[in-house]
Amino acid sequence: MKILIVEDEPIFIETLLIYLEEMGYDKVHTADNATDALRLFVAVEPDLVLLDINIKGGKDGINVAEAINQSKKPVPIIFMTSIEDKTTFERAKQTNPIAYMVKPIDENSLERSIELAIYKYYKSTWDTELFVEWKKDVLAPHSLFVKIGQRLEKIAIQDITYIISDASHAELHTQDEKIVARVSLTDLANKLPADIFVRISRSSLVNTQYIQNIDLDKNIIFLQDGTKIGISRRSKESLLNRLNVV
- Per-residue 3-state assignment (H helix, E strand, C coil) for the chain: CEEEEECCCHHHHHHHHHHHHHHCCCEEEEECEHHHHHHHHHHHCCCEEEEECCCECCCCHHHHHHHHHCCCCCCCEEEEECCCCHHHHHHHHCCCCCEEEECCCCHHHHHHHHHHHHHHHHHCCCCCHHHHHHHCCCCCCCEEEEEECCEEEEEEHHHCCEEEECCCCEEEECCCCEEEECCCHHHHHCCCCCCCEEEEECCEEEEHHHEEEEECCCCEEEECCCCEEECCHHHHHHHHHHCCCC
Predicted local distance difference test score (pLDDT) of residue 130: 42
Which amino acid type is present at position 48?
L
Predicted local distance difference test score (pLDDT) of residue 220: 95
The CATH homologous superfamily for domain 2-129 is: Response regulator (3.40.50.2300)
Q: How far is CA 86 from CA 65, 90, 91, 93, 211, in A?
A: 18, 6, 9, 10, 45
| Rounded (5°) CA angle 219-119-51 | 100
Task: Say what the pTM is.
Answer: 0.55
- Counting as low any pLDDT under 70, the low residues of the chain are 122-141, 167
CATH code for the domain defined by 138-242: 2.40.50.1020
Predicted local distance difference test score (pLDDT) of residue 140: 57
Angle between helices 61-69 and 86-93 (to 10 degrees): 20
Residues carrying CATH 2.40.50.1020, the chain: 138-242
Predicted local distance difference test score (pLDDT) of residue 123: 57
Q: How far is CA 68 from CA 30, 38, 131, in A?
A: 15, 8, 20
Residues carrying CATH 3.40.50.2300, the chain: 2-129
**Beta pairing class for 151-156 and 48-52:** unpaired
